[in-house]
Chains A and B, each alone.
Chain A
Amino acid sequence: MPAQVITITSGKGGVGKTTATANLAVALAAAGSKVVCIDGDIGLRNLDVILGLENRIVYDIVDVIEGRCRLKQAMIRDKKLPNLYLIPAAQTRDKNAVSPSDMNRLIKDLRPDFDFVLIDSPAGIERGFRNAIAAADRVIVVTNPEISAVRDADRVIGILEAEDKGPGALIINRLNPILVKKNDMLSADDVLDLLAIELIGIVPEDENVIISSNRGAPVASDPKSKAGQAFRNIAKRLKGETVPFLDLESTGSLWERIQRLAGRK
């Protein structure tokens, strides 16, 4: 079966697109799928460091598009997960080095050999974003439970609808259950109410995300991390499985957990 092409986008920068792309790629590959992820952020390459593959780059996506190398030469294979590949972004070029039709051609060549092609979109709604969604079968919109991130997500969803890419599926990233409980952070329900699209995952704020990106080993491969669990669940949903959403309530302090057990809260 040809690959499912999924673009991860957000509008606003810094909400966790690259982290989500890396983690979904790792989780899908660990579960046996053959995955290639593409860094669409030309000029601001980052997916390579999050995946820990930065030292192995020889060719990049622009080299492929401009014919300086074959597609296979630009694909870096992960050592721990042999069915995970990365096509890195060019670092010394800008977004105009690639066009939507270049992306369509590249993806067409990748489809027969993979189960999933994941494209990490740059922030914004300009050329780089247009390139990233050109060949997508499905779009995932990442947001944070925060006013500016939700507003930008809504703009992106509007553009996706206008471009006939469907409204997309939503990941609410970096939700802090304690702040939500104090009513000082938008809840997942609030965000869904406002954006009115399908939810595919809620990822709790988790310090392990920073720790694992420091090491270049995405948190999805950490069996103890809550965020890792959330990303593994999203990967399962992408494969068509029905997985219940995590109970994030249980991440309170010890005292709050005791109070809950005692039926006080």
Chain B
Amino acid sequence: MNFFDRLFGKTKSADSAKERLQLVLIHDRTDLTPAELDSLRDDLIATISRHVAIDAQGVQIDVEHDGRSQRLIADIPLKAARRRTRKIK
């Protein structure tokens, strides 16, 4: 990116092409639409919540790729157990 593009915060078209492709290829390769990923997220939250208290707002589900293979990455913050023990007291 040259000086003026940086100055005006304009992204060059090759960068947006690459970003858009990265996202679209993940969905093409996994056959997983954003809607399906959302419903997977809801199911995961429901299942895990039955066993442990989680912070549903903070749950992040992503598909990452390493070469030509994809992996599902779930980041699920647990609610602090301290609060529960205090309540019991």
Contacts and interface: CB of A to CB of B under 8 A. Distances in A.
B68 A157 contact: yes
Contacts of B22: 194
A147 B23 CA distance: 12
A190 interface: yes
B29 interface: yes
A167 interface: yes
A185 B68 contact: no
Contact of A194 (B1, B12, B15, B21): B21
Given A151-B28, A155-B28, A194-B22, A183 B14 contact: yes
Interface in B1-38: 1, 12-15, 17-18, 20-22, 24-25, 28-29
Contacts of A146: 17
B67 interface: yes
Given A150-B21, A151-B25, A154-B28, A161 B68 contact: yes
A197 interface: yes
Given A196-B67, A196-B68, A197-B68, A154 B17 contact: no
Interface string A184-216: 111100100110110000000000000000000
B64 to A, nearest CB: 13
Given A154-B29, A161-B68, A183-B1, A190 B14 contact: yes
Contacts of B12: 182-184
A26 B67 CA distance: 34
Interface residues of A, number: 22
The size bracket of the interface on B is 10 to 19
A180 interface: yes
A186 B18 CA distance: 7
Contact of B68 (A147, A167, A183): A167
B29 A147 contact: no
A147 B14 contact: no
Contacts of B68: 157, 161, 167, 196-197
A158 interface: yes
Interface of B: 1, 12-15, 17-18, 20-22, 24-25, 28-29, 65, 67-68
Nearest first, the 4 A-B pairs at minimum CB distance are A183-B12, A196-B67, A183-B14, A196-B68
Given A167-B68, A194-B18, 15 more contacts: A147-B20, A151-B21, A151-B25, A151-B28, A154-B25, A154-B29, A155-B28, A158-B28, A180-B14, A182-B12, A183-B13, A184-B13, A186-B14, A187-B14, A190-B18
6 contacts: A146-B17, A154-B28, A161-B68, A183-B15, A184-B14, A185-B14
Interface of A: 146-147, 150-151, 154-155, 157-158, 161, 167, 180, 182-187, 190, 193-194, 196-197
